[in-house]
Amino acid sequence: PLPSASESRQLKHRRTVDVHVYARADGLWEVDAHLVDVKSRDTPMADGMRLAGVPIHELTLRLVVDTQLNILRAGSESHRVPYQGHCGDHADAYAGLAGLNLAKGFRRAVMERLGGVRGCTHLTELAIGLPTAVIQGFAGEVIDTRGDHPAAGQPFQIDRCHALRSDSEAVRLHYPRWHRQPDAKNTEHNPSSSAAPAAR
C-alpha cells in the first residue's frame, strides 16, 4: 500500500510526462514525448522571475520509428528552460538516437551517447522511458499480445513482468496455451511463484 499522505503536505513541484504514439500513412510511426516541470510558487531564474504555473522546463522529443522498433529519425525542441540560450545549445544531440533500436540495448546506448554533459538531463531521462510507451502503442496492432493464432509465437508480454511470468496464475487464466508449471526449486524460495490461485 501507499504510505499515508500527510494532511499538511503542500504541492511545490509537478512534473508531467506525456507520450503520444501515432501511426502514419507510410507505415512508419511517430512518437512525441513531452516533459513539463511547473512550480507552485514564483521562482527566481537566471532570466528573471518565473511565475507560479509557468513551466520551468517544457521539452519535446520526437522519434520516427519502424515496426521493428528501429529509430529512423529523431530530434528535440526546448520550448522553456531555466537558462535560455544555453540549455538547448546542444546542436540537437538527440538526432543521434537515429540508428538505435528501442528493444535492443537502448537505455545503455542512450546513456553512452547522451548521458551527462553530452545532452540535457531531462531529455535524456525522457528518452530512456520511451521503449515501454512505444511497445504499448504497438500492442495489438504491430505486436501480437494474444497469441491466439495456431502459428503465433508466445505473446510479447509473457515473462517480461512479475504478474505475467509464464508459471503465474495470470498466465494460467488468460494465456493457458503458454502456461508452464512452476519450477519446484523456484517455488521453494519464492512462494508467489506457486500456481495456486491468487488471493482475490
**Cβ atoms of residues 29 and 66 within 8 Å:** yes
- Mean pLDDT, consecutive 10-residue stretches, the chain (200 aa), reads 94 97 98 97 93 96 97 95 83 93 96 93 96 93 75 75 85 81 59 38
Whether residue 119 contacts residue 90, with contact meaning beta carbons closer than 8 Å, is answered with yes
**From CA 123, how far away is CA 132, in angstroms rounded?**
16
With 0.75 as the threshold, say if the pTM is over it.
Answer: yes
The torsion region of residue 151 among left (phi > 0), alpha (psi -120 to 50) and beta comes to: alpha
What is the 8-class DSSP label of residue 178?
A: G
Q: Nine-digit cell at 165?
A: 511470468
